[in-house]
């Protein structure tokens, strides 16, 4: 199995733990509203589409170390505490982790040049972000990130509206 298509498992509440060793692409809405999905191990996934895991409240751990593309709101309102993405991640969609309130710790994005709007909005456990190539932080990107205490973005030139509001 190399591709999981649009809406493939949407609203599949019985899914809990999945492993896809050869999977390359998880398309838009593929696992949206899978209320009991807890862990996905997909070590070869390179692409995660928009809203792929939106509202998967029990999803706590995602291991996709080759993923270079994450779509809009892909992990919005999940229970993620940890995620493993590629060091070569080039695209992180708007609102990708919005309201993932359990996301904890430090994140590093070596290749991103933009952190789009609402990317981490209300990620109250997020403590630190390192993004050495980022030049732009979008509107509301870190608003509501009450634990955030460190941003390393030495090339930063633009900070958007309410980017750090209530943080």
Is there a contact between 124 and 97 (Cβ–Cβ < 8 Å)? no
pLDDT at 82: 87
5: DSSP letter = -
pLDDT at 61: 87
Query: Collapsing DSSP states into helix, strand and coil, what is residue 158?
Result: strand
CA 140 to chain centre: 15
Tens-place pLDDT, residues 39-71: 888 999 999 999 999 999 999 988 899 999 999
Tens-place pLDDT, residues 106-127: 999 999 999 999 999 999 999 9
Percent of the chain with pLDDT over 90: 92
Query: Collapsing DSSP states into helix, strand and coil, what is residue 100?
Result: coil
Tens-place pLDDT, residues 135-161: 999 999 999 999 999 999 999 999 999
Mean pLDDT of the chain: 96
Quote the CA–CA distance of 25 and 64 in Å, as a whole number.
Answer: 11
Tens-place pLDDT, residues 92-108: 999 999 999 999 889 99
Pick 133 or 104 by higher pLDDT: 133
Quote the CA–CA distance of 125 and 148 in Å, as a whole number.
Answer: 8
Q: What is the CA radius of gyration of the chain?
A: 15
pLDDT at 39: 87
Closest CA to 127 of 96, 102, 105: 105
pLDDT at 83: 87
Residue with tokens 């899914």: 15
Average pLDDT over residues 82-99: 94
């Amino acid at each position: 199995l190399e591709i999981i298509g649009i809406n493939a498992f949407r609203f599949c509440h019985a899914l809990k733990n999945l492993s896809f060793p050869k999977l390359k692409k998880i398309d838009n809405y593929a696992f949206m509203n899978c209320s009991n999905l807890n862990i996905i191990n997909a070590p070869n996934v390179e692409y995660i589409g928009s809203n792929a895991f939106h509202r998967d409240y029990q999803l706590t751990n995602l291991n996709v170390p080759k993923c270079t593309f994450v779509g809009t709101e892909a992990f919005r309102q999940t229970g993620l505490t940890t995620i493993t993405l590629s060091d070569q991640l080039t695209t992180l969609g708007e609102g990708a982790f919005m309201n993932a309130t359990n996301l904890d710790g430090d994140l590093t994005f070596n290749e991103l040049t933009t952190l789009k709007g609402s990317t981490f909005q209300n990620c109250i456990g997020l403590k630190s972000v390192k993004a050495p190539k980022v030049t732009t932080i979008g509107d509301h990107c870190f608003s509501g990130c009450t634990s955030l205490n460190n941003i390393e973005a030495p090339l930063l030139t633009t900070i958007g509206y309410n980017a750090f509001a209530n943080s």
